Amino acid sequence: MAAYPFLTFNGNCIAAMKFYQSCFGGELLLDYLGESPCGIDMPQDMKRLIMRGILDAKTIKIFASDLGGEEGLVTGNTIAILFKASGREELTKVYRTLSKGTMSSHALTDDFSKGQMISLADQFGINWLIFY
């Protein structure tokens, strides 16, 4: 099991992640919305948004995206904890545990990287993304 910070930006994910790379070093991977199956028919300006950025440094691993929810970015939803489960069984177990008394949750979806992901805000308002 592993948990990582997942930051959400408003179109400046590349600049932020390059800044963090200058601070911590490491390898930076950026997946653009336009490169994903869902981004093919999107407007050109949306294709340049980062769907998933990963900074993998010696002392930290940070995930990030330009894609927020329908409500936009507000204090409290710009960061989530990304939990990497070992498989669907662990994903389901962690989700059931975290979702007790939840404020909101979303349905299990197929992740573009061939896994599955589900998100929720727990009873304390902490945003979680759980995937395998």
Report the distance separating Cα 88 and Cα 45, nearest Å.
35
Pairing of strands 61-65, 2-8: parallel
Nearest to 117 by CA among 108, 106, 126: 108
**Predicted pLDDT at 107:** 67
Structure tokens given for 41: 């028919």
Q: How far is CA 84 from CA 117, 125, 132, in A?
A: 9, 20, 6
Q: What is the pLDDT of residues 55-82, one digit of tens each?
A: 999 878 999 999 876 666 666 666 778 7
Is 30:17 a contact under the CB 8 Å cutoff? yes
**Predicted pLDDT at 103:** 60
Nearest to 5 by CA among 59, 47, 48, 74: 59
Mean pLDDT within 98-123? 72
Structure tokens given for 26: 């490491």
